[in-house]
Amino acid sequence: MEGKMIKLFFLLSSYLFSLGPFVSGSFYPDKKEEIELFIKERINTAQTYVKNIKKDDVKAVIVPHAGYIYSGNIALISYLSIAKNTERFIILSPSHRIAIDGAATVKEDFETPLGKTEVDREFIDIILKDKIFEEKRDAFINEHSIEVQLPFIKYFFKNARIVPILLNTEDLSKLTKIAGVIKSALKKDNKKSIIIISSDFSHYPASNDSIKSDLTMVKAIETLDENYINLTSKVLLTKKVESLETTACGISAIITGVNLAKLMGANSFNLIKNSNSYLETKNEQLKDRVVGYVSGAFIEQSTRKENELTKKDKKILLENARKSIINYASGKKEIIFQGLYDNPYFNLPKAVFVTLKKKGNLRGCMGTTQPITGLYDAVKYFAVIAANEDPRFSPVKIEEMKDIKIEISILSSLKKINGYKDIKKEDGVVLIAKKGSGLFLPQVWEELNNKEDFLSELCYQKAGDNRDCWKDPDTQFFIFSVEKFEE
């Protein structure tokens, strides 16, 4: 009997007791009138950023979670991109205080100066059936990343309910599972739902570096590739940017949200606005130590823009490849793998090969099939390596450079195939045989147009194996494409 009473008490407590508010009066106003005035004074300007967005096609939005004086304008823009008939907000947020192995949620409602925000208990009961989720009330106490979202939701979507979720695991397999569990639960009813990805971006670099880091992360998010987003974040943190402690405090929420948005039909991420705490306040004392903010929407649309290099970008890369080779040959040291570039595409991790040709003949070719650093640095590095460490050639001398043409190949990710029969003549090929491995860029087809000749030379020249190793059923093949440009 006593056990039943305890269970009944906890069941009733989730309906009778509420959480918060914990950070009203510090992160945002603690009076209803002040919150309403904050929104009303800014709504007309914010509307101009979302006038071309088809709100019914929006599946998820990224929203910052700093104090309103810093990120409130950016958060407002995100909420104005959401359809007015939205009934449920699934809020994915980082847990700043408590480590969470999977994902945590809670059944208590949340109090705000605008009134109580109710949770969707039926939905929460469904996701809690999977062990990847746990009910963890303590994690939500004094956690601002969800609370600061609630006044906006209550103001614009008065009767909507929320599903608060905290996470901070770096295990991508768990984040993928979390997204899948949420998607399965969404199939149980027809409620209009939206995903809120609560995250600030770069933490504590100078304003200019914040912009570079944040726009690079945006470019990575545009790929809708969770692994690539994670890789980009890690590469940026290796660039020795002063005071850059994290690229996004909600990286786990972002990765989960990208996965979930795709499951809901999104095929594009549109940046709406980016800013930082200095740009929002114009406080000069904050200029050298800021937090970055992004407003963006994951949308289902018929056309999707791809990241592309312009002719100017390609020219810059080729010029710097040449400059790096000459500087190295002259004994001048260059600093690479340090700092960020204004063009965010140059900061993105890319697998690169640099090929040198002297009067039409190969003079060096080196690179990597896996991204190890940003594009700009990778080009500079492998230009020098191709000129000096290709074992087939002696180092390039300065006087040779007038006769050398440089070609840059940016590789796609590798795709494993069943066997050599699946190889097409436009493919780059990686072969892994018993005695070794080798790679041919797609350009090699210009010299070896016959598939048997192509694969035989790949076995012999690159893998160091017999010329017919490609016929061995144990040989593995990967294909890739390249974006190629030359002087």
Residue linked to tokens 């010329």? 467
CA distance 128 to 137: 13
Q: What is the pLDDT of residue 250?
A: 98
Examine the fold and report which residue of 269, 299, 329 is the final residue of a domain before the chain moves on: 299
CATH number of residue 270's parent domain: 3.40.830.10
Clarify whether residues 393 and 455 are in a common domain: no
CA distance 14 to 9: 9
Residue 361 lies in domain: 311-411
Clarify whether residues 41 and 60 are in a common domain: yes
Beta strands in 305-400 (DSSP E): 351-358, 361-367
Three-state SS annotation for the chain: CHHHHHHHHHHHHHHHCEECCCCECCCECCCHHHHHHHHHHHHHHHHCCCCCCCHHHEEEEEECCCCHHHHHHHHHHHHHCCCCCCCEEEEEEECCCCCCCCEEECCCEEEECCEEECECHHHHHHHCCCCCEEECHHHHCCCHHHHCCHHHHHHHCCCCEEEEEEECCCCHHHHHHHHHHHHHHHCCCCCCEEEEEECCCCECCCHHHHHHHHHHHHHHHHCCCHHHHHHHHHHHCCCCCCCCCCCCCCHHHHHHHHHHHHHCCCCEEEEEEEEEHHHHHCCHHHCCCCEEEEEEEEECCCCCCCCCCCHHHHHHHHHHHHHHHHHHHCCCCCCCCCCCCCCHHHHCECEEEEEEEECCEEEEEEECCCCCCEHHHHHHHHHHHHHHCCCCCCCCCHHHHHHEEEEEEEECCCEEECCHHHCCCCCEEEEECCCCEEEECHHHHHCCCCHHHHHHHHHHHHCCCCCCHHHCCCCEEEEECEEEEEC
Examine the fold and report which residue of 233, 268, 299 is the final residue of a domain before the chain moves on: 299
Q: Does residue 306 lie in a domain region? A: no
CATH number of residue 473's parent domain: 3.30.1490.150
Clarify whether residues 133 and 7 are in a common domain: yes
Clarify whether residues 280 and 137 are in a common domain: yes
- Going by DSSP bridges, is the β-strand pair 437-440/428-432 parallel, antiparallel, or unpaired? antiparallel
Q: Does residue 304 lie in a domain region? A: no
Q: What is the pLDDT along the chain (487 residues), one digit of tens a residue?
A: 555 555 444 444 444 579 999 999 999 999 999 999 999 999 999 999 999 999 999 999 999 999 999 999 999 999 999 999 999 999 999 999 999 999 999 999 999 999 999 999 999 999 999 999 999 999 999 999 999 999 999 999 999 999 999 999 999 999 999 999 999 999 999 999 999 999 999 999 999 999 999 999 999 999 999 999 999 999 999 999 999 999 999 999 999 999 999 999 999 999 999 999 999 999 999 999 999 999 999 999 876 666 679 999 999 999 999 999 999 999 988 778 889 999 999 999 999 999 999 999 999 999 999 999 999 999 999 999 999 999 999 999 999 999 999 999 999 999 999 999 999 999 999 999 999 999 999 999 999 999 999 999 999 999 999 999 999 999 999 999 999 999 9
Q: Does residue 115 lie in a domain region? A: yes
Q: Does residue 305 lie in a domain region? A: no
Q: Structurally, how many domains does the chain consist of?
A: 3
Q: Does residue 385 lie in a domain region? A: yes
Q: What is the pLDDT of residue 357?
A: 97
Joined tokens for residue 173? 């397999």
Examine the fold and report which residue of 244, 264, 299 is the final residue of a domain before the chain moves on: 299
CA distance 318 to 334: 16
Q: What is the pLDDT of residue 120?
A: 98
Clarify whether residues 276 and 317 are in a common domain: no
Clarify whether residues 185 and 316 are in a common domain: no
Clarify whether residues 376 and 287 are in a common domain: no
Clarify whether residues 393 and 438 are in a common domain: no
SS3 73: helix
Clarify whether residues 135 and 282 are in a common domain: yes
Beta carbons of 257 and 183 less than 8 angstroms apart: no
CATH number of residue 371's parent domain: 3.30.700.20
Clarify whether residues 385 and 472 are in a common domain: no
Q: What is the pLDDT of residue 392?
A: 93
Clarify whether residues 33 and 176 are in a common domain: yes
Q: What is the pLDDT of residue 411?
A: 97
Q: What is the pLDDT of residue 10?
A: 47
Q: Does residue 466 lie in a domain region? A: yes
Q: What is the pLDDT of residue 308?
A: 78
Clarify whether residues 155 and 187 are in a common domain: yes
Q: Does residue 253 lie in a domain region? A: yes
